[in-house]
Amino acid sequence: MNQIQNLFSLENKTAIVTGANTGLGQGICVALAAAGAHVFGVARRSCDETLEKVKEVGGEFTEIIADLSDLSAIDSIIKEVSAKADRIDILVNNAGIIKRCDAIDVTMEDWDAVTDLNEKLVFFLSQAVAKQWIADGKGGKIINIASMLSFQGGIRVPAYAASKSAVAGMTKALANEWAQYNINVNAIAPGYMATNNTTQLRNDSSRNDDVLARIPAGRWGTPEDMYGAAIFLASEASAYMNGFTMAVDGGWLAR
Protein backbone atom coordinates (compact mmCIF):
# COMPACT_ATOMS: atom_id res chain seq x y z
CA MET A 1 0.00 0.00 0.00
CA ASN A 2 1.45 3.40 -0.89
CA GLN A 3 1.46 6.41 1.42
CA ILE A 4 -1.66 7.96 -0.08
CA GLN A 5 -3.73 4.74 -0.04
CA ASN A 6 -2.56 4.37 3.55
CA LEU A 7 -4.46 7.57 4.41
CA PHE A 8 -7.68 5.53 4.26
CA SER A 9 -6.43 2.63 6.38
CA LEU A 10 -8.03 2.01 9.78
CA GLU A 11 -5.57 -0.72 10.80
CA ASN A 12 -5.09 -0.89 14.60
CA LYS A 13 -7.99 1.50 15.18
CA THR A 14 -10.95 0.89 17.46
CA ALA A 15 -14.38 2.18 16.51
CA ILE A 16 -17.69 2.42 18.34
CA VAL A 17 -20.79 2.44 16.12
CA THR A 18 -24.24 2.88 17.68
CA GLY A 19 -27.29 1.25 16.10
CA ALA A 20 -25.10 -1.54 14.71
CA ASN A 21 -27.65 -4.31 14.17
CA THR A 22 -29.27 -3.06 10.99
CA GLY A 23 -29.51 -0.44 8.23
CA LEU A 24 -26.92 2.30 7.84
CA GLY A 25 -25.19 1.43 11.13
CA GLN A 26 -24.63 -2.09 9.90
CA GLY A 27 -23.20 -0.77 6.63
CA ILE A 28 -20.86 1.55 8.53
CA CYS A 29 -19.66 -1.35 10.73
CA VAL A 30 -18.84 -3.41 7.64
CA ALA A 31 -16.99 -0.50 6.00
CA LEU A 32 -14.87 0.43 9.02
CA ALA A 33 -14.04 -3.22 9.75
CA ALA A 34 -13.09 -3.85 6.10
CA ALA A 35 -10.73 -0.86 6.34
CA GLY A 36 -9.05 -2.51 9.33
CA ALA A 37 -10.79 -1.23 12.47
CA HIS A 38 -11.95 -3.41 15.34
CA VAL A 39 -15.59 -2.33 15.48
CA PHE A 40 -17.62 -2.38 18.69
CA GLY A 41 -21.25 -2.26 17.62
CA VAL A 42 -23.80 -1.02 20.14
CA ALA A 43 -27.42 -2.15 19.80
CA ARG A 44 -30.38 -3.11 21.92
CA ARG A 45 -30.77 -6.37 19.95
CA SER A 46 -28.44 -9.04 18.64
CA CYS A 47 -25.95 -8.00 15.96
CA ASP A 48 -25.53 -11.52 14.53
CA GLU A 49 -26.26 -10.39 10.97
CA THR A 50 -23.70 -7.57 11.25
CA LEU A 51 -21.12 -10.00 12.65
CA GLU A 52 -21.68 -12.31 9.66
CA LYS A 53 -21.28 -9.43 7.18
CA VAL A 54 -18.13 -8.20 8.93
CA LYS A 55 -16.68 -11.72 8.85
CA GLU A 56 -17.32 -11.85 5.09
CA VAL A 57 -14.94 -8.89 4.64
CA GLY A 58 -12.40 -10.38 7.05
CA GLY A 59 -13.02 -7.79 9.77
CA GLU A 60 -13.27 -7.78 13.54
CA PHE A 61 -16.56 -7.03 15.35
CA THR A 62 -17.69 -7.12 18.98
CA GLU A 63 -21.30 -6.61 20.00
CA ILE A 64 -22.36 -4.50 22.99
CA ILE A 65 -26.00 -4.78 23.98
CA ALA A 66 -27.38 -1.55 25.45
CA ASP A 67 -30.61 0.41 25.32
CA LEU A 68 -29.46 3.89 24.38
CA SER A 69 -32.68 5.54 25.48
CA ASP A 70 -31.09 5.28 28.95
CA LEU A 71 -28.12 7.68 29.05
CA SER A 72 -26.48 5.70 31.86
CA ALA A 73 -25.52 3.26 29.06
CA ILE A 74 -22.77 5.73 28.07
CA ASP A 75 -20.52 4.86 31.02
CA SER A 76 -20.96 1.13 30.65
CA ILE A 77 -20.23 1.24 26.90
CA ILE A 78 -17.01 3.21 27.45
CA LYS A 79 -15.95 0.82 30.23
CA GLU A 80 -16.71 -2.29 28.15
CA VAL A 81 -14.76 -1.06 25.13
CA SER A 82 -11.88 0.23 27.26
CA ALA A 83 -11.57 -3.19 28.92
CA LYS A 84 -11.11 -4.87 25.53
CA ALA A 85 -9.19 -2.27 23.49
CA ASP A 86 -6.16 -0.03 24.07
CA ARG A 87 -8.13 3.09 23.27
CA ILE A 88 -11.16 4.31 21.35
CA ASP A 89 -10.19 6.03 18.07
CA ILE A 90 -13.50 6.52 16.24
CA LEU A 91 -17.08 7.14 17.39
CA VAL A 92 -20.00 6.92 14.98
CA ASN A 93 -23.23 8.30 16.44
CA ASN A 94 -25.65 6.47 14.17
CA ALA A 95 -28.56 5.20 16.34
CA GLY A 96 -31.67 7.26 15.74
CA ILE A 97 -35.44 7.05 15.68
CA ILE A 98 -38.17 8.82 13.74
CA LYS A 99 -41.84 9.32 14.69
CA ARG A 100 -44.15 10.29 11.84
CA CYS A 101 -47.07 12.41 12.98
CA ASP A 102 -48.73 15.76 12.14
CA ALA A 103 -47.07 18.52 14.17
CA ILE A 104 -50.41 19.36 15.77
CA ASP A 105 -50.64 15.86 17.32
CA VAL A 106 -47.04 15.32 18.55
CA THR A 107 -46.91 14.30 22.23
CA MET A 108 -44.23 15.40 24.68
CA GLU A 109 -43.38 11.73 25.22
CA ASP A 110 -42.61 11.21 21.52
CA TRP A 111 -40.73 14.53 21.32
CA ASP A 112 -38.52 13.51 24.25
CA ALA A 113 -37.91 9.99 22.90
CA VAL A 114 -36.68 11.38 19.57
CA THR A 115 -34.56 14.21 20.97
CA ASP A 116 -33.08 12.08 23.80
CA LEU A 117 -31.70 9.50 21.37
CA ASN A 118 -31.01 11.59 18.26
CA GLU A 119 -29.60 14.63 20.04
CA LYS A 120 -28.84 14.30 23.76
CA LEU A 121 -27.16 10.89 23.50
CA VAL A 122 -25.06 12.09 20.55
CA PHE A 123 -23.78 15.01 22.60
CA PHE A 124 -23.02 13.15 25.84
CA LEU A 125 -21.49 10.08 24.19
CA SER A 126 -19.26 12.43 22.18
CA GLN A 127 -18.36 14.31 25.35
CA ALA A 128 -17.43 11.05 27.11
CA VAL A 129 -15.00 9.92 24.38
CA ALA A 130 -13.62 13.43 23.90
CA LYS A 131 -12.68 13.56 27.60
CA GLN A 132 -10.45 10.52 27.03
CA TRP A 133 -8.99 11.96 23.83
CA ILE A 134 -8.21 15.33 25.39
CA ALA A 135 -6.63 13.59 28.41
CA ASP A 136 -4.39 11.29 26.35
CA GLY A 137 -3.59 14.01 23.80
CA LYS A 138 -4.03 11.68 20.82
CA GLY A 139 -7.29 12.95 19.35
CA GLY A 140 -9.93 10.96 17.51
CA LYS A 141 -12.77 10.99 15.00
CA ILE A 142 -16.44 11.60 15.63
CA ILE A 143 -18.93 10.97 12.83
CA ASN A 144 -22.50 12.01 13.50
CA ILE A 145 -25.29 10.73 11.31
CA ALA A 146 -27.34 13.73 10.29
CA SER A 147 -30.10 13.82 7.64
CA MET A 148 -31.61 15.79 4.77
CA LEU A 149 -33.67 17.20 7.65
CA SER A 150 -30.51 18.81 9.00
CA PHE A 151 -31.10 21.16 6.03
CA GLN A 152 -34.83 20.91 5.38
CA GLY A 153 -38.03 20.73 7.43
CA GLY A 154 -39.51 17.49 6.07
CA ILE A 155 -43.15 16.50 6.31
CA ARG A 156 -44.83 15.14 9.47
CA VAL A 157 -41.54 14.60 11.34
CA PRO A 158 -41.01 17.84 13.34
CA ALA A 159 -39.15 16.30 16.31
CA TYR A 160 -36.87 14.40 13.94
CA ALA A 161 -36.17 17.54 11.87
CA ALA A 162 -35.38 19.47 15.05
CA SER A 163 -33.06 16.73 16.34
CA LYS A 164 -31.19 16.35 13.04
CA SER A 165 -30.79 20.13 12.70
CA ALA A 166 -29.33 19.98 16.21
CA VAL A 167 -26.90 17.27 15.06
CA ALA A 168 -25.58 19.54 12.29
CA GLY A 169 -25.31 22.46 14.73
CA MET A 170 -23.60 20.40 17.40
CA THR A 171 -21.17 18.98 14.80
CA LYS A 172 -20.00 22.54 14.13
CA ALA A 173 -20.02 23.57 17.80
CA LEU A 174 -17.93 20.58 18.90
CA ALA A 175 -15.53 20.97 15.97
CA ASN A 176 -14.92 24.58 16.99
CA GLU A 177 -13.89 23.53 20.50
CA TRP A 178 -12.14 20.23 19.82
CA ALA A 179 -10.28 20.64 16.51
CA GLN A 180 -7.38 22.05 18.57
CA TYR A 181 -7.11 18.61 20.28
CA ASN A 182 -6.81 16.77 16.95
CA ILE A 183 -10.43 15.66 17.25
CA ASN A 184 -12.29 15.74 13.94
CA VAL A 185 -16.03 16.13 14.40
CA ASN A 186 -17.98 15.78 11.14
CA ALA A 187 -21.31 14.39 10.02
CA ILE A 188 -22.79 12.42 7.15
CA ALA A 189 -26.26 13.44 5.97
CA PRO A 190 -27.76 10.43 4.21
CA GLY A 191 -30.47 11.08 1.66
CA TYR A 192 -33.48 8.80 1.35
CA MET A 193 -32.15 5.33 2.15
CA ALA A 194 -33.96 1.99 2.05
CA THR A 195 -33.86 0.95 5.74
CA ASN A 196 -36.33 0.39 8.59
CA ASN A 197 -36.33 4.17 9.14
CA THR A 198 -38.13 4.70 5.83
CA THR A 199 -40.32 1.56 5.63
CA GLN A 200 -43.49 3.55 6.35
CA LEU A 201 -42.56 6.14 3.71
CA ARG A 202 -41.71 3.54 1.06
CA ASN A 203 -44.98 1.68 1.79
CA ASP A 204 -46.97 4.84 1.00
CA SER A 205 -46.97 4.59 -2.80
CA SER A 206 -47.69 8.26 -3.39
CA ARG A 207 -44.93 9.46 -1.02
CA ASN A 208 -42.58 6.77 -2.41
CA ASP A 209 -43.15 8.03 -5.97
CA ASP A 210 -42.71 11.68 -4.90
CA VAL A 211 -39.40 10.91 -3.16
CA LEU A 212 -38.05 8.83 -6.05
CA ALA A 213 -39.01 11.44 -8.64
CA ARG A 214 -36.95 14.05 -6.75
CA ILE A 215 -33.73 12.01 -6.41
CA PRO A 216 -31.44 12.79 -9.37
CA ALA A 217 -29.79 9.36 -9.01
CA GLY A 218 -33.25 7.82 -9.50
CA ARG A 219 -33.06 5.29 -6.67
CA TRP A 220 -33.21 4.99 -2.89
CA GLY A 221 -29.80 4.84 -1.21
CA THR A 222 -28.48 1.71 0.51
CA PRO A 223 -26.23 0.97 3.51
CA GLU A 224 -23.45 0.22 0.99
CA ASP A 225 -23.67 3.84 -0.22
CA MET A 226 -22.35 4.88 3.21
CA TYR A 227 -19.10 2.91 2.92
CA GLY A 228 -16.89 5.53 1.27
CA ALA A 229 -17.98 8.52 3.34
CA ALA A 230 -17.67 6.56 6.60
CA ILE A 231 -14.13 5.35 5.85
CA PHE A 232 -13.09 8.81 4.67
CA LEU A 233 -14.33 10.62 7.80
CA ALA A 234 -12.92 7.91 10.10
CA SER A 235 -9.46 8.00 8.54
CA GLU A 236 -6.47 10.32 8.27
CA ALA A 237 -7.69 11.26 4.79
CA SER A 238 -10.09 13.72 6.47
CA ALA A 239 -7.54 15.17 8.92
CA TYR A 240 -8.27 18.78 7.89
CA MET A 241 -12.08 18.44 7.86
CA ASN A 242 -13.83 19.92 10.85
CA GLY A 243 -17.49 20.58 11.53
CA PHE A 244 -18.77 19.65 8.07
CA THR A 245 -22.00 17.79 7.31
CA MET A 246 -21.45 15.83 4.11
CA ALA A 247 -24.45 14.70 2.08
CA VAL A 248 -24.64 11.19 0.62
CA ASP A 249 -27.96 11.72 -1.07
CA GLY A 250 -28.00 10.80 -4.76
CA GLY A 251 -28.23 14.53 -5.47
CA TRP A 252 -31.37 15.29 -3.37
CA LEU A 253 -29.97 18.58 -2.03
CA ALA A 254 -28.76 19.62 -5.46
CA ARG A 255 -32.36 19.89 -6.70
Choose between 130 and 167: whose C-beta lies nearer to ligand NAP.
167
- Tell whether residue 250 is a contact of ligand NAP (CB under 6 A): no
Q: Give 91's strand partners.
A: 16, 142
CB of 137 to ligand NAP, least distance (A): 30
| Window contacting ligand NAP (CB under 6 A); options: 92-100, 177-185, 209-217, 229-237 | 92-100
| Window contacting ligand NAP (CB under 6 A); options: 9-17, 54-62, 88-96, 205-213 | 88-96
Q: CA 158 to CA 117: how far, in whole Å?
A: 15
Could you confirm whether 192 is annotated as catalytic?
no
- Tell whether residue 229 is a contact of ligand NAP (CB under 6 A): no
DSSP state letters, 150-191: GTS--SS-HHHHHHHHHHHHHHHHHHHHHGGGTEEEEEEEE-
Task: Please give the C-alpha separations between residue 166 and each of 115, 148, 161, in angstroms, as whole numbers.
Answer: 9, 12, 8
Task: Please give the C-alpha separations between residue 160 and each of 52, 80, 114, in angstroms, as whole numbers.
Answer: 31, 30, 6
Q: Which one-letter DSSP state was computed for residue 116? A: I
Choose between 117 and 129: whose C-beta lies nearer to ligand NAP.
117
| Window contacting ligand NAP (CB under 6 A); options: 65-73, 125-133, 171-179, 235-243 | 65-73
Task: Please give the C-alpha separations between residue 119 and each of 96, 131, 148, 149, 171, in angstroms, as whole numbers.
Answer: 9, 19, 15, 13, 11
Choose between 11 and 49: whose C-beta lies nearer to ligand NAP.
49
Q: CA 61 to CA 93: how far, in whole Å?
A: 17
- Tell whether residue 243 is a contact of ligand NAP (CB under 6 A): no
Closest listed residue to residue 187, CA positions, set 169, 200, 202, 199: 169
- Tell whether residue 34 is a contact of ligand NAP (CB under 6 A): no
What element of type H or E holds 61?
strand 60-65
Residue among 10, 15, 16, 24 that touches ligand NAP (CB under 6 A): 24
Q: By the 8 A CB rule, do 40 and 62 touch?
A: yes
Choose between 96 and 243: whose C-beta lies nearer to ligand NAP.
96
- Tell whether residue 192 is a contact of ligand NAP (CB under 6 A): yes
- Which candidate in 160, 181, 192, 227 is catalytic? 160
- Where do contacts with ligand NAP occur on this chain (CB under 6 A)? 19, 21-25, 43-45, 67-69, 94-97, 117, 145, 147, 190, 192-193, 195-198
Q: Give the residue numbers marked as catalytic.
A: 160
